[in-house]
Structure 1
């Protein structure tokens, strides 16, 4: 596997997206800055390597 790549199956990808979005919502509700979470969430959504073939 190449360095700095994260390979997720569909369930892990969905869980990571939901968790980051939930954390973002909590930050917004607490009136805190969520810029770092936004950048990470965008990287995850735009990733071209998001699923793997099961062996």
Structure 2
């Protein structure tokens, strides 16, 4: 499960739609920051190396 980069968001109860959207926003923000840094450093990032999201409830 943790062989690649990921974000883990845990909830005690079922998350609301707004909470899930917040998790997705964090994921997209992190991915875009990594892509920006790679562009500045003239590096390429494989899609498989971008972090993904686990939501545990």
How does the TM-score come out when normalised to structure 2? Answer: 0.47
Tell me which protein shows more helix as a share of its residues.
1
**Structure ranking higher on relative contact order (CA contacts 8 Å, 6+ apart):** 2
Tell me which protein shows more strand as a share of its residues.
2
How does the TM-score come out when normalised to structure 1? Answer: 0.48
